[in-house]
A and B are shown apart, each in its own frame.
Chain A
Amino acid sequence: ETGVTQTPRHLVMGMTNKKSLKCEQHLGHNAMYWYKQSAKKPLELMFVYNFKEQTENNSVPSRFSPECPNSSHLFLHLHTLQPEDSALYLCASSQDRRSSPYNEQFFGPGTRLTVL
């Protein structure tokens, strides 16, 4: 398998549920990202990890909790979400910031999340 994969592709959850999104990259990268894409809004960066360490948290509510156990895997744990959290959640990976002066990010197919 190549590139960046995400599971599940679609998720419907209630506001009291707890669920997790998974991302895996097979590109040998050391940086991974979570983005949120809502209708009629630009892609919004949520979290950045370099070598498993979180280096960016873009003022994301605590109901979103990321986890990066190794450089190839990234999770986004969800609990007590709101309907306005419904969006496409995209994972991306790139070379880490120390080894590459430029930042070409490779994206996964996304998880379409609907919160009821």
Chain B
Amino acid sequence: EDKVVQSPLSLVVHEGDTVTLNCSYEVTNFRSLLWYKQEKKAPTFLFMLTSSGIEKKSGRLSSILDKKELFSILNITATQTGDSAVYLCAVPDSGGYQKVTFGIGTKLQVIP
């Protein structure tokens, strides 16, 4: 059975801090790893990672994948209160790519 483990489960930081969120996975025939941000309700897509060692970047957020060690990290620099959310890591199955296994998420709270 595919497995996705995220850490830490929750994190409280001050505005301006840099945070690193972790995601490790155990899946057969890995193809991609996804990061989502969930504020209030609908998860919104952040990154899709398919290749090891290539950093994806969007503003203050960046993510990288290590296929050898089976993990990914999501970095947020100069955090703002608007970054407060649950960050979800997910891995689609290799068969139809539609059975996605999600981690439980990391709840990030950024305080002023």
Contact = CB atoms under 8 A, between A and B. Distances in A.
Interface residues of B, number: 25
Nearest to A50: B98
B96 A109 contact: no
Contact of A88 (B41, B50, B97, B104): B41
A105 B42 contact: no
A103 B101 CA distance: 12
Interface string A75-116: 000000000000010100010010011111111111010000
Interface in B90-106: 90, 92, 96-105
B108 interface: no
B8 interface: no
Contact of B31 (A55, A56, A90, A102): A102
Given A42-B4, A42-B105, A43-B88, A103 B43 contact: no
Interface residues on A, range: 20 to 34
B7 interface: no
A97 B45 contact: no
Question: In the complex, which of the residues A50, A56, A102 has the most CB atoms of chain B within 10 Å of its own CB atom?
Answer: A102
Question: In the complex, which of the residues B32, B50, B97, B104 has the most CB atoms of chain A within 10 Å of its own CB atom?
Answer: B97
A48 interface: yes
Given A56-B96, A103-B34, 6 more contacts: A4-B42, A33-B98, A40-B104, A45-B100, A56-B99, A105-B45
